[in-house]
Structure 1
C-alpha cells in the first residue's frame, strides 16, 4: 500500500452475487484476499477502476478464479507466482503501469483472453503481445504470451543448469600448476574424444545417406520394371469394362425389343377380340330384331321401366338406319 494513503474497507459479502464479486469503483488500495477466499463459489473477480499498485502476497491463493478484471489501476508489477492461477481464462490488465510480465505466465495454459492495452511495456513485450485492439488480438496475445513464457522458462532453466555444471567443474580444479596442466590435458582429451565422436557421427550419416540412395535407386528400378505390367493390366481392365458395357447395351436392346413385340401382340389380340365381339353383337341384334321379333318383345319385358323407353327409341333409330343402309346396298346403282 502506498504511504500516506488510508486503507479502504469494503463489505465483500454485499458485493458477492452468485459467482461474481464486483469490487470495482471502490477506491481500493489493497485487495481483501481473505474475505474473497471465504466465498468458494466466486470465479469472477472485478477489481477495475481502483487505486491498486500491487496485488499483494496472498493474491495467488485465489486459484478458483476464471475471470479477472484489473483494468484502470496503477499496477506496476505482477507477483512472480502469478501462474498459480491455472484456471484463469480471461485476464484484463487494460490501462495499468506494467512494463513486463512474470515467467510464471507459462503455467496459464487455459488463458484465452489477455488485454494489455495502455501499459508502458518494453519493446520486446510489446512485440510479443501486439495491439490488443480487437477480441481476436486479445486472444492471440494470450496465446503468444503463454507460449513465449514456456519456451523462455525452459531455456532459462537450461542455462542455470549449465552454469551450475561449469561452477562445479571450476570448483573441482586445483590451484597449482600441476592441476592446471591436468585440466588442460583433460580438456585436450575431451576435445579429442569430441572430435572422434563427431567423425563417427559423420561416418554414420554418410552410410545412412548411401543406404537411402541405394534404396531409392532400387525403388526406381522396381517402378521401371513394374510400369509395363501395370499398363497391360490397365488395358485388360479397360477391355473388360468395354465388354461389360457392350453386353449391358445388348441386353437392354433385346429387352426393349422383346417388350415391344409382346406389347404389339397384346394390342393386336385385343383389337381382334373387340372386332369379333362387335360383329357378334350386330349379328345377334339383326337376327332378333328382323328375323325373330317375338324374341325381341320378350327381352323388352325384362328391361326396367325407367330405361325401357330410352332403349326402345334408340333401338328403333338403329333399326331404321340399318334398314336404310341395307336397302341402299341392295338397290342397283341405276336407280340411285
Structure 2
C-alpha cells in the first residue's frame, strides 16, 4: 500500500451476488484477499476503477477465479506466481502501468481473453500482445502471450540446468586442484589459500550476477532477431546446384539420343549403299535374295527408288566418261 494513503475497508459480503464479487469504484488500495477467499463460490471478481498499485502477496491463493477485471488501476507489476490462477479464462488489465508480464503466464492454459490496452509495455511485449482493439485481438493476445511465456520458460529452465552442471564440474575441478596443492610447503599453501579465497569471492560475485540476470530474464522478455540471410544464401546455392545438375543431365540425355540416331542413320545408309551396289554391278542373284526378305508392303517402293537411283548414277557416269567435245 502506498505511503500516506489510508486503507479503505469494504464489506465484501454486501458486494457478493451469486458467483460474482463487485468491488469496483471502491477507492481500494489493497485487496481484501482473505475476505474474498472465505466465499468459495466466487469465481467472477471485479476490481476495476480503484487505486491498486500491486495485488499483494496472497492474491494468487484465489485459484478458483475464472474472470478477473483489474482495469483502470495503477498496477505496475504482477506477482511472479500469477500463473497459479490456472482456471482463469478472462483477464482485463486495461489502463494500468504494466511494462512486462511474469513468465508464469505460460501456466494459464485456459486463458481465452487478455486486454492490455493502455499499458506502457516494452517493444518486445507490444509485438507479442498486439493492439487488443477488438475481441478477436484480445483472444489472439491471450493465445500468443501464453504460448511465448511457456516456450521461453522451458528454454530458461534448460539453460539454468546446463549452467548448474557446468558450475558443478568447475567446482569439482577446483576441489581436485586444491587437494593436489595440499602436499606443498606452508608458504605455498598460504598463497594457494589466498588464491582460492579470491577465486571463491570471484565465483560468488559471478553467481550473484547470474542470479540477477536470471531474475531479470524472468521479468523481462527479449525477442532475438531471426537471421535469415545465410539460410537463404545456402538455399539459393542448393537450388542453383540442383538446376545445374538437372541441366547437365538433360544435355547428356539429348547428346546420347543424338549420337544414337546419327549412328543408326549411318548404318542404314551404308546398308542401303551396299544393296544398291550389289544390285547394280556385282551379283543380281544376291540382290534378288535380299529383296525376298523385304516385307511385301515396302518391296515395291524400295525397288522403284533403287531403280531411279541406279539410272541417275549410270547417267552421271556416262556423262563423266564422254569427252567434252562430244558432249
Shorter-chain TM-score category? Answer: 0.5 to 0.7
TM-score, length basis structure 1: 0.52
Q: CA deviation at 1:174?
A: 4.0
Report the Cα distance in structure 1 between the residues aligned to 2:152 and 2:179, rounded to whole angstroms: 37
Q: CA deviation at 1:148?
A: 0.4
Report the Cα distance in structure 2 between the residues aligned to 1:5 and 1:33, rounded to whole angstroms: 19
Give matches, 1:310-329, under 5 Å.
none
Q: CA deviation at 1:173?
A: 1.1
Corresponding residue for residue 183 of structure 2: none
Q: SS where residue 75 of structure 1 aligns?
A: coil
Gaps of 5+ in 2: 181-327
After superposition, give the CA deviation of every residue in 1:266-319 in whole Å (9 maximum; x if it has no partner).
xxxxxxxxxxxxxxxxxxxxxxxxxxxxxxxxxxxxxxxxxxxxxxxxxxxxxx
Report the Cα distance in structure 2 between the residues aligned to 1:174 and 1:66, rounded to whole angstroms: 52
Question: Are residue 68 (structure 1) and residue 73 (structure 2) matched?
Answer: no
Corresponding residue for residue 109 of structure 2: 109
Gaps of 5+ in 1: 181-336
CA contact (8 A) 1:173 1:179 kept: no
After superposition, give the CA deviation of every residue in 1:40-62 in whole Å (9 maximum; x if it has no partner).
11110000000000000000010
Question: Are residue 30 (structure 1) and residue 30 (structure 2) matched?
Answer: yes
TM-score, length basis structure 2: 0.54
After superposition, give the CA deviation of every residue in 1:181-232 in whole Å (9 maximum; x if it has no partner).
xxxxxxxxxxxxxxxxxxxxxxxxxxxxxxxxxxxxxxxxxxxxxxxxxxxx
Q: SS where residue 173 of structure 1 aligns?
A: helix
Q: SS where residue 165 of structure 1 aligns?
A: helix
Report the Cα distance in structure 1 between the residues aligned to 2:47 and 2:178, rounded to whole angstroms: 66
Greater share of helix:
1
Q: Which runs of 4+ in 1 moved over 6 A?
A: 175-180
Report the Cα distance in structure 1 between the residues aligned to 2:86 and 2:137, rounded to whole angstroms: 22
Q: CA deviation at 1:134?
A: 0.3
Q: Compared with structure 1, are the counterparts of its residues 171 and 30 closer, same or farther at alpha carbon in structure 2 (3 Å cutoff)?
A: same
RMSD of aligned Cα (Å): 1.7
Higher relative contact order (CA 8 A, sep 6+): 2
Corresponding residue for residue 81 of structure 1: 81
CA contact (8 A) 1:79 1:102 kept: yes
Corresponding residue for residue 15 of structure 1: 15
Q: CA deviation at 1:176?
A: 8.6
CA contact (8 A) 1:49 1:72 kept: yes
Give matches, 1:208-227, under 5 Å.
none
Q: SS where residue 75 of structure 2 aligns?
A: coil
